[in-house]
Amino acid sequence: MAKQHNRPDRTRRLIVKAILAGVGLGLTGWKRARAADASLWLKDAFTQKTEADAIKALYGKDAEASDQVKLDAPEIAENGAVVPISVSSALPDVTSIAILVSENPFPLAATYKIPPGTSGMVANRLKMAKTSKVVALVESGGKIYSASKEVKVTVGGCGG
């Protein structure tokens, strides 16, 4: 089924930006679709091929295991294409949460920025290529804490 984004492609969007800049942002009354800031994406971390390299690219330091990080994931995924996973932590001043699937081609699946006022909790749904360790990382007070769990996958999320 054709998807209906009705959005300009990247090139056109850049052109729109350039025009707006050139006009000195004089068009404040114009309505245009907001877009999230694509420059926030962490290409380096998301393209690392091992868990250790992804963690290094993400934080530049190692994580220490902690029972203050709670990772909720199924024992056996009903289908590797949709695995509900949630992470929460009672640690103070959580600034980010990341979730890695060690055996995926690119282990880093998702990372979340948590500003002050937002709880140290996130739930999402991830794809798993095969049975793998899932690692949750919580950044708190400049340190990285982790928890992990083995999730069995018999129908991988990378099939057709």
Partner 1 sequence: MASTIRLRAIVSGDTTEVQALVQHPMDSGFVKDSAGNLIPPHHIEVVEFEHAGKAVFTALWGPAVSKDPYVKFSFKGAQKGDDLTVSWVDNKGESDSLVAKIQ
Partner 2 sequence: MLRALYATIATLFLALAQPAAATDAVNPQADFKAFRDFFTKRFPNVPLNDFVNGPYSMDADLRKQWVAIEDFPPYEFAVDKGKEMFATPFKNGKSYGDCFPNKGIGIRQNYPYFDVKRGEVVTLELALNRCREANGEQPFSYVKDDMAALTAYMAFTSRGKPFDIKIPNDPRALAAYVNGEKYFYSRRGQLNFSCASCHVQSPGEHIRTEVLAPALGILAAMPIYRSEWGSMGTISRRFVTCNSQVRGVPIEPQDENYRDVEYYLSYMSNGLPIAGPGARP
Q: Tell me if 89 sits within 8 A of 107, measured CB to CB.
A: no
> Of 9, 25, 29, 67, which one interacts with partner 1 (CB under 8 A)?
9
Radius of gyration of the chain (CA): 19
Alpha-carbon gap, residue 11 to 18, rounded angstroms: 11
Interaction pattern, residues 82-101, with partner 2; x per rule: CB under 8 A: xxx-x---------------
- Burial pattern 4-31, b for ≥16 Cβ within 10 A else e, equals eeeeeeeeeeeeeeeeeeeeeeeeeeee
Least Å distance between CB 6 and partner 2?
A: 16
Integer Cα distance of 87 and 119 in angstroms? 11
Which among partner 2, partner 1, none contacts residue 148 (Cβ within 5 to 8 A by kind)?
none
Q: Using CB under 8 A, which residues numbered 31 to 60 contact partner 1?
A: 33-38, 40-42, 46
Touching partner 1, residues 89-118 (CB under 8 A): 101, 104-106, 108-115, 117-118
Judged by the rule CB under 8 A, the positions of this chain that interact with partner 2 are: 1, 74-79, 81-84, 86, 123, 125, 153-155
